[in-house]
Structures are given as C-alpha cells and as structure tokens.
C-alpha cells in the first residue's frame, strides 16, 4: 500500500502522518497566501485610511474615556502589533493615557496573567496603560444593553459599555460564527455568561457554518449585540500560517470587517467534492491545541463536513488539560444524558455541546494527544498512540475504500462542499 506523508502541527512541534494514497480525498490547505511584509506598516496604513468612518483621531476628543478590546492568550499574539497605531491615533486626538483602558476579551476563558498581558501587548504598553481582564461572571461589572431579535438578553462589560469611545481589535479567521473579528470582540469577548451561552446554544451550534456568515444565526445574533454596544471603530487583521499579519482593515464595525472577511474567505475556505467517511484534523499546534477546550474547534469542523457515522481523528497536544473546570464535568457525562439535559432546558457548557453533538454523528472519535489514555477515555474519545493507528481502526469500520479528508490546519481553514452545504 502506497502512502503520502502529511505534516500536522502538534503542540510546539510537528508529526508526520502516513496516509494511504488511494484513500486520500484531499488535504485541505489554504489558498496561496502572501508573505508578510511590514506588519506594523499595514496596520498603521489601515488605521489612517479607515473604511466607512472618520479616523479615530477625529472620533475621539480630549477628555473622552476610551475602551479598547483585545484578544487574550488563547488567540495568536497580535496585540503588540496592532495597539501602537490605535494608541497613536488617540494621542493625536488629545486623549490622555489615564482615560484609556485596554480590556482582555476573555469571554469564557480564564483571566490572563500579568506575564501573558506583557507578552500579548508588550511591557511598554502594559506599564503605561490600564489593562484589565473581562470577567463574564462579575455581575457588578456588567451592564444591560438590550435584547436581540432572537431573544438574547445582552449584558456586557461595564468599562466597555460606559466608555465614550469603544474600539475593537482582533484577528479574522474561520470559526463557528463564520469568521472571528468584528462583532466577536463584543459577543463573546466582553459579554456576560448568560449572553454568551444563549448565543452558543445547542440548536445554533448544530447549524454552525465555519467560513460562512450567510444564514448563520450565531453571527446574526452577535452582530445585533455589537450594534447595541454602539462600537465606534475596529482594527482587524488577517494572518498567514506563520501568524504574521498579511492584511489589516480598520473603521466601521461592518464595512471594514466585511473587507477583511472577503480577503480571509479567499484564502481560508476550501471547497471539497464530497463528504468523507474519515476526517483527520489538527487544531494547528500551540496555542490552538494547548487545551481540550480550544482543540474542540478543530473537532467541530470535522464532524460538520464528514458523512454521518464517520470517524474523526483529532490531533491535539492538550498539554494544559481541559482548560475549564465546568467543561471537564460535562465532558465526562454520557451523551444521551447530556442531550436530555439540553432538551430539558438546562444550561450546559457549549464546548461540551460541540463534543456530544459530534458523538451523535460520529461512529468513533480518536484522539492523538499528550493526555493519559484513561483520561481520554473518560472524555469519550478513543486514545491512540499514533495517527496511523487511528487510520487503521477507522478503515476497519468503514472499509478499504473509505475516503479520508486531512485538515492539518483544522482550526484555521474551513472545508466547504462545493454546493455550499456544511453542517
């Protein structure tokens, strides 16, 4: 049997997977991606030539309070590349340093440590400006903004809501809301727990559309929430696979973001001809595969594109374990019991919902990780020492002619059927 060797990122390193040539449907890789040039220059030019709004230096005024939302430790480190251009505009507007607060948009994640803030933003910025973590459970620091047309009661960070000028920064990549960036820096980044969980509800998760915002109810709901927040300015970037900035957009919440989405869609959504029986997906290495929590995003893409009854092989280091105590509890639950609780209206962890919803569709879910095998089994995965072991077991289930789809960058690139169907 002939094989083709395919590299998959795993933690800080890489593993090579030997996939049977006759079974390989496709290796989903992004389109031709430009090399990075002057990253800071790209951001600076975008900020100085905003889309759909005035320059930030013309929006802000002396005496204004400003809140800037930035990505936390779970996302690629871009804050230190983006923030200087934003802060320069605010200085030009006459805004004092004391009136600027940078908010780590942690959503449901744990708070950033001081060391992580320094790494993400740069010590020169963390020493000069107030930097705070958002806490979705701190009800005293949440403000009610209104209710979306789908019934989501929107609570967001008080510092953000009360600021005279609200700025969002972040990365545009493929996620279940279609693409990250833009409105995602409000919901879930600085929203309350109930608001986040309503948006990430079971029925909507099952309809998730990676790389597609058309008829994507999670996107529509989050965008309404961001409009309620009255965002003044965004700065978003698209990265290459080296996590370098190759495109920057700035300005209006929708118009600037859509320009970035157009660029990201061209490079990070890839059509495939048919649904495979087997999907091998890597979360893309650290930091995207540091925890089970983050790695489940690559898993979600896999079960959405595969045939019902197929097998998922998830390649994820998970060196930091689950990454969320509440998620740990729900991962260990029997899927039938979990889904019964969902139907009864109980609030459950949405990442566990992704796992259990996938179990409804998958025959087996194999996991190549650093976790102890007994722990992997408790989470409902089948532990494997090598990806080749998982391939052999999956082919035994589906037969020698089964097709295999490989997603070496499963957390970054969205496979879509040529007819546009996904989930």
Cβ(157)–Cβ(232) below 8 Å: no
The whole-number average pLDDT for the span 7-21 is: 95
Give pLDDT tens digits for 359-398: 888 899 999 999 999 999 999 899 999 999 999 999 999 9
Stretch (H or E) spanning 374:
helix 373-378
* pLDDT (0 to 100) of residue 421: 59
- Comparing 176-180, 225-229, 235-239, 393-397, the range with the smallest average pLDDT is 176-180
Q: How confident is the model at residue 295 (pLDDT cuts 50, 70, 90)?
A: very high
Q: Are 251 and 52 in contact (CB under 8 A)?
A: yes
- State yes or no: pLDDT of 401 exceeds 70: yes
Confidence class for position 420, pLDDT limits 50, 70, 90? low
Q: Which two tokens stand for residue 252?
A: 């209006």
Helix 350-361 with 335-343: angle, nearest 10 deg: 120
Across the chain, which distance is largest between two alpha carbons, in Å?
71
Cβ atoms of 245 and 238 within 8 Å: the answer is: yes
Nearest to 205 by CA among 311, 316, 303: 303
Given this model, what pLDDT does residue 36 score?
86
Average pLDDT over the chain reads 93
For 332, residues 6+ apart whose C-beta sits below 8 A from its C-beta are 378, 379
Q: What is the pLDDT of residues 131-140, one digit of tens each?
A: 999 999 999 9
pLDDT of residue 127: 97
Average of per-residue pLDDT across 262-278: 92
State in words which class domain 3-30+273-417 has.
Answer: alpha beta
pLDDT digits (tens, 9 = 90+) for 312-325: 999 999 999 998 88
Domain locations along the chain: 3-30+273-417, 39-267
Banded model confidence at residue 52, pLDDT cuts 50, 70, 90 = very high
Confidence of residue 419 (pLDDT cuts 50, 70, 90): low
Pairwise pLDDT comparison (300 vs 71), residue with the higher score: 71
pLDDT at 251 over 80: yes
Residue 183 or residue 207, greater confidence: 183
pLDDT of residue 39 exceeding 70, the answer is yes
Residue 418 in this model has a pLDDT that exceeds 80: no
**pLDDT above 90: residue 185:** yes
The architecture in CATH of the region 39-267 reads 3-Layer(aba) Sandwich (3.40)
Q: Across the strands, what pairs with 280?
A: 313, 406
Reported pTM: 0.86
Structure tokens at 109: 């994640």
Q: Is residue 422 scored above 60 in pLDDT?
A: no
In degrees, to the nearest 5, what angle opens at C-alpha 216 toward C-alphas 213 and 222? 90
With 60 as the cut, is the pLDDT of residue 423 above it? no
More confident residue, 22 or 324: 22
In 142-272, DSSP assigns E strands to 142-147, 153-157, 165-171, 174-175, 178-179, 233-239, 245-251, 269-272
Share of the chain above pLDDT 90, in %: 71
């Amino acid at each position: 049997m002939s094989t083709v060797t395919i590299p998959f990122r795993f933690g800080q390193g890489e593993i090579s997977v030997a996939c049977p040539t006759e079974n390989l449907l496709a290796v989903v890789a992004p389109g031709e991606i430009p090399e990075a040039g002057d990253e800071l220059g790209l951001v600076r030019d975008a900020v100085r030539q905003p889309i759909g709004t005035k320059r930030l230096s013309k929006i802000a005024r002396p005496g204004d309070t400003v809140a800037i939302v930035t990505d936390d430790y779970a996302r690629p480190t871009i804050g230190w590349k983006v923030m200087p251009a934003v802060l320069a505009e605010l200085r030009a507007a006459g805004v004092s340093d004391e009136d600027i607060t940078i908010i780590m948009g942690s959503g449901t994640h744990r708070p950033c440590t001081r060391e992580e803030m320094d790494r993400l933003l740069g010590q020169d910025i963390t020493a000069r400006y107030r930097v705070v973590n958002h806490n979705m459970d701190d009800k005293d620091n949440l403000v009610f903004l209104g209710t979306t047309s789908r019934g989501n009661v929107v609570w967001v960070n008080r510092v953000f809501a009360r600021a005279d000028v609200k700025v969002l920064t972040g990365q545009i990549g493929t996620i279940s809301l279609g693409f990250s960036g833009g409105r995602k820096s409000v919901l879930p980044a600085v929203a309350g727990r109930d608001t986040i969980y309503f948006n990430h509800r079971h029925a909507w998760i099952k309809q998730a559309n990676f790389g597609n915002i058309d008829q994507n109810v999670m996107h529509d709901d989050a965008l309404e929430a961001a409009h309620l927040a009255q965002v003044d300015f965004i700065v978003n970037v698209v990265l290459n696979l080296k996590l370098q900035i190759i495109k920057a957009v700035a300005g209006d919440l929708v118009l600037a973001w859509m320009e970035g989405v157009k660029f990201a869609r061209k490079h990070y959504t890839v059509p495939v001809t048919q649904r495979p029986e087997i999907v091998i997906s890597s979360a893309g290495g650290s930091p995207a595969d540091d925890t089970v929590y983050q790695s489940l995003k690559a898993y979600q893409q896999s079960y959405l594109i595969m045939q019902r009854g197929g097998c998922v092989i998830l390649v994820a280091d998970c060196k930091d374990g689950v990454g969320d105590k509440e998620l740990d509890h729900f991962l260990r639950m029997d899927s039938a019991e979990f889904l019964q609780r969902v139907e009864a209206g109980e609030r459950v962890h949405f990442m566990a919902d992704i796992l259990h919803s996938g179990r409804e569709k998958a025959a087996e879910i194999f996991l190549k990780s650093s976790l102890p095998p007994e722990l992997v089994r408790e989470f409902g995965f089948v532990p494997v020492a090598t990806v080749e072991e998982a391939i052999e077991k999956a082919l035994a289930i589906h037969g020698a002619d089964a097709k295999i789809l490989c997603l070496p960058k499963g957390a970054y690139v969205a496979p879509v059927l040529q007819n546009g169907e996904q989930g």
